[in-house]
Amino acid sequence: MRVLSFPTLQVAHNKKINMTSRYDILFQPIKIGPVTAPNRFYQVPHCNGFGYRMPLGMATMRGMKAEGGWGVVCTEETEIHYTSDLSPYFEGRIWSDDDIPTWQLMTEAVHKHGALAGIELTYNSHDAANLYSRASAFGPRSMGITGGSGYEPGQTRAATKDDLKQVRKWHRNAAIRAKKAGFDIVYCYAAHNMTLAFHLMSKDNDRTDEYGGSLENRTRFFRELIEDTKEAVGDTCAVAVRFAVDELLGKDARGVQFDGEAHDIVAMLAELPDLWDVNLSNWANDSVTSRFGKEGHQEKYISFVKKLTTKPVVGVGRYTSPDSMLSAIERGIMDIIGAARPSIADPFLPNKIREGRLDDIRECIGCNICVTGDTRFVPIRCTQNPTMGEEWRRGWHPENIQSKKSEDEILIVGAGPAGLEAARALGQRGYHVILTDARREAGGRVLLESALPNLNEWRRVIDWRITQINKIKNIFFYSSSPMTAKDILEAGAPHVILATGATWRRDGMGRHLSRPVPGNGKIFTPDDLMDLNMGSDSSLALRVLSKMQEQAPALQKILIYDDDHYYMGGVLAELLAENGCDVTLITPAPLISYWTQFTLEQERIIKRLHDLNVTLLENHVIASHTPTSATVTNIITSAESTLACDAIVMVTDRIPNDALYHELKPALAEGKLKSLRIIGDAEAPNIIAQAVFAGHLAAREFDEQVNPDETPFKIER
């Protein structure tokens, strides 16, 4: 291959450090009741979409965390009885002894690497829709079911005292099964606004018997669960409590508050469990995305717990920095660092800290794509870690990859998320890789999107990969290097991978409109605004984004038409509103930023847009436009209305940048190339996680025999 003379991109990264004693406290063993955790890294219970239907996938994924150094690895919430059936979600089940072998798969995988295994037993109240079992759910009173869709047309029945005794018996039986399955820690769960124990303690309880009224009475059931569990398995198993200390509802809503009843509950039960695992309710508050909550955001709510108990305290806060972890322990916030999402993004995070490889940590970006595994009923996935969920079915390891099978060179065109991951993984395999990008800086869409309001942590997708690429001597990166088909063929690489991205449509076509929207109004796309937001000095930047709106009197009213339904429409509305524009956001969907309900952030997006005085209009499509207005149509009633606007931002479909692929296909047929592959958005526009996955898949499959007629992964049946 001819030598390319393009300038290489250099990105600074941390040097490997000698850890000495700086982080030693994180690796100190800590006693939890009758068991001892080998260190202070604790993978708290988290859902994963595998559940009871894919036990091998679940167990292998959990075992990978233990291999990576997590001292305690826990299950997801695990149903103890068919009357608390969490369908349509796929969670754990320990209904009977028949479920014990499933859980032995996990405990053996975790114990193999010296970690403790924990199980989160749960008996949910009105959050259990019982769609599979069709049983009547128990609640503190008869009340609407919130599980399933969130708006199920049914109610619980008020649990009698005999019912509560039954639940205690079922919980005890489940704890005994958990012990037989090999678990070291057994949970009593009262968090996330889901469990019967939590609901009895909360505003939902209006009972007049000994389980209602005073706080002591409302806490009685939870106390009994803890006491029963300790009596049943406490000789060899630690009994943990998971408790939400605040619902973030405020005093007027009578919600549980950290400086109110939650404080009193912890004080009341302080020494009863062997461990306190504390967090916020509901799940959207506990696992807030990085757009709305930063590292350690729960500290002010949970810090009181350690002052009330001598037992170890676990807390979470999406800690990715070892310095933040160390600080949380040294400041007395917690004894053990809990994590769900950071353990998903990097199952080997503890080992990397132990080895002083801090710049190798694959930091969570807080996007909650992992959450969508549960909310969309599919195996877990991760934007940063493309191997997450693929440990068993594809045999992928997050740190190890098969070695190269040839000396062939590979040219990758496009250094966005797909191209960067393909280059990194192929380089790790040992191949000679040439990576080019037309822009001066690598990152593609992530470079642009991470500059949008509150998405700065998404830049970690780029930074981690560039850091790794700079360490691999057989990867050569050339920036500011647009490539034509002729350039590619002249470069002489026998294998070409195209990761050239996609471009947002300007004509309004998308899911709901199959024809271009007619009109002569001023049209922008996300590409336009992101380029401007990156600091372009074009007149458009001055006219659209200038904080000095008097310089742009003609572009005050902006209409955003969002037929993408994820974050882009809402975050552009933020960008424009923060720069003084009068913004209206319309969408054909019944909810603004509809898909973000699956990442647990839709309500926060609505609130932020309301706070910015953005006008929101659901169930509408854009029908036509002029330089001063847009005609929109209600898709339910077909009624038309006219909205004044000076410009329109179309957030609809994207067009794959696949021209190079089609130009090069004849060269492949003629034998001028050994292989040609198109990946990421250039193949099929999707979320960033899918682009990273596509790049990783291309690297894993390179030089491998792939039969398109066979499923490329194992299936649990």
Torsion angle in degrees (nearest 10) through CA of 414, 420, 424, 430: -10
Residue with tokens 């990761």: 499
pLDDT digits 0-9 by tens, 385-417: 999 999 999 999 999 999 999 999 999 999 999
| Residue 538 within a domain | yes
Residue 432 has pLDDT above 70, yes or no: yes
Across 115-142, average pLDDT: 94
Structural domain tally of the chain?
Answer: 3
Looking at the structure, tell me whether residues 651 and 664 fall in a common domain.
no
pLDDT recorded at residue 13: 39
Q: What is the pTM of this model?
A: 0.93
pLDDT recorded at residue 5: 34
The Cα–Cα gap between 89 and 122 comes to 14
The Cα–Cα gap between 421 and 411 comes to 13
Across 191-213, average pLDDT: 90
The one catalytic residue among 126, 171, 192, 432: 192
pLDDT recorded at residue 400: 98
Looking at the structure, tell me whether residues 474 and 606 fall in a common domain.
no
Across 525-548, average pLDDT: 62
Q: Is 189 a catalytic residue?
A: yes
Cα distances from 600 to residues 92, 288, 371, 376, 568, in angstroms, run 21, 7, 8, 12, 16
Looking at the structure, tell me whether residues 425 and 530 fall in a common domain.
no
| Residue 25 within a domain | no
Residue 131 has pLDDT above 90, yes or no: yes
Percent helix, percent strand, percent coil in the chain, to nearest 5: 35, 20, 45
Looking at the structure, tell me whether residues 347 and 457 fall in a common domain.
no
pLDDT recorded at residue 553: 53
Residues 6+ apart with CB under 8 A from 384: 345, 346, 362, 363, 364, 365, 460, 461, 464, 692
Across 67-94, average pLDDT: 97
Residue 542 has pLDDT above 50, yes or no: no
What is the chain's mean pLDDT, rounded?
93
| Residue 19 within a domain | no
Looking at the structure, tell me whether residues 488 and 528 fall in a common domain.
no
pLDDT digits 0-9 by tens, 341-365: 999 999 999 999 999 999 999 999 9
DSSP-derived pairing of the beta strands 629-634 and 620-625: antiparallel
**Which residue, 352, 375, 398, sits at the end of a domain?**
375
Residue 370 has pLDDT above 90, yes or no: yes
Looking at the structure, tell me whether residues 172 and 306 fall in a common domain.
yes
DSSP letters for 195-236 = BHHHHHHSTT----STTSSSHHHHHHHHHHHHHHHHHHHTTT
Residue with tokens 């991951």: 421
Cβ of 39: how many Cβ atoms within 10 Å? 22
DSSP-derived pairing of the beta strands 409-413 and 432-436: parallel
The one catalytic residue among 42, 46, 47, 74: 47
The Cα–Cα gap between 455 and 585 comes to 20
Which among 323, 263, 383, 379 has a CA at the least distance from the CA of 692?
A: 383
**Which residue, 636, 655, 674, sits at the end of a domain?**
655
Across 532-561, average pLDDT: 59
Residue 547 has pLDDT above 90, yes or no: no
The Cα–Cα gap between 118 and 524 comes to 52
pLDDT recorded at residue 607: 97
* CATH number of the structural domain spanning residue 598: 3.50.50.60
Asked whether 279 and 245 are in contact (CB, 8 A), the reply is: yes
Looking at the structure, tell me whether residues 255 and 158 fall in a common domain.
yes
Torsion angle in degrees (nearest 10) through CA of 400, 405, 409, 412: -40
- Which tokens in the block code for residue 273? 């469990």
Across 618-630, average pLDDT: 97
| Residue 393 within a domain | no
Residue 313 has pLDDT above 60, yes or no: yes
pLDDT recorded at residue 106: 98
The Cα–Cα gap between 61 and 348 comes to 12
Looking at the structure, tell me whether residues 168 and 55 fall in a common domain.
yes
Across 482-510, average pLDDT: 97
pLDDT recorded at residue 533: 64
Q: Is 162 a catalytic residue?
A: no
The one catalytic residue among 23, 89, 189, 661: 189
| Residue 386 within a domain | no
The one catalytic residue among 228, 286, 374, 528: 286
Looking at the structure, tell me whether residues 243 and 342 fall in a common domain.
yes
Q: Is 286 a catalytic residue?
A: yes
pLDDT digits 0-9 by tens, 591-608: 999 999 999 999 999 999
pLDDT recorded at residue 149: 84
| Residue 713 within a domain | no
- Percentage of residues in the chain with pLDDT exceeding 70? 94
pLDDT recorded at residue 250: 80
The Cα–Cα gap between 423 and 688 comes to 16
Cβ of 707: how many Cβ atoms within 10 Å? 7
pLDDT recorded at residue 1: 35
pLDDT digits 0-9 by tens, 9-44: 333 334 444 444 899 999 999 999 999 999 999 999
pLDDT recorded at residue 4: 35
Across 222-243, average pLDDT: 98
pLDDT recorded at residue 411: 98
Cβ of 114: how many Cβ atoms within 10 Å? 12
Q: Is 46 a catalytic residue?
A: no
Question: 538 pLDDT band (50/70/90 cuts)?
Answer: very low
Residue 7 has pLDDT above 60, yes or no: no
Across 158-182, average pLDDT: 97
* CATH number of the structural domain spanning residue 422: 3.40.50.720
Looking at the structure, tell me whether residues 448 and 577 fall in a common domain.
no
Tell me which residue range forms the domain holding 547.
Answer: 507-655
Looking at the structure, tell me whether residues 182 and 287 fall in a common domain.
yes
pLDDT recorded at residue 204: 83
pLDDT recorded at residue 137: 87
Residue 254 has pLDDT above 60, yes or no: yes
Question: 534 pLDDT band (50/70/90 cuts)?
Answer: low
Across 218-230, average pLDDT: 97
Looking at the structure, tell me whether residues 531 and 544 fall in a common domain.
yes
**Which residue, 375, 401, 431, sits at the end of a domain?**
375
Cα distances from 609 to residues 580, 636, 646, in angstroms, run 13, 24, 20
pLDDT recorded at residue 546: 52
pLDDT recorded at residue 545: 52
| Residue 672 within a domain | yes
Residue 566 has pLDDT above 50, yes or no: yes
Question: Which DSSP state fits 403?
Answer: P
Alpha helices in 80-160 (DSSP H): 100-111
| Residue 389 within a domain | no
* CATH number of the structural domain spanning residue 87: 3.20.20.70
Question: Is the pLDDT higher at 361 or at 6?
Answer: 361
pLDDT recorded at residue 193: 87
pLDDT recorded at residue 256: 87
Residue 155 has pLDDT above 90, yes or no: yes
Across 96-101, average pLDDT: 97
Which among 433, 436, 460, 438 has a CA at the least distance from the CA of 449?
A: 460
DSSP-derived pairing of the beta strands 495-498 and 409-413: parallel
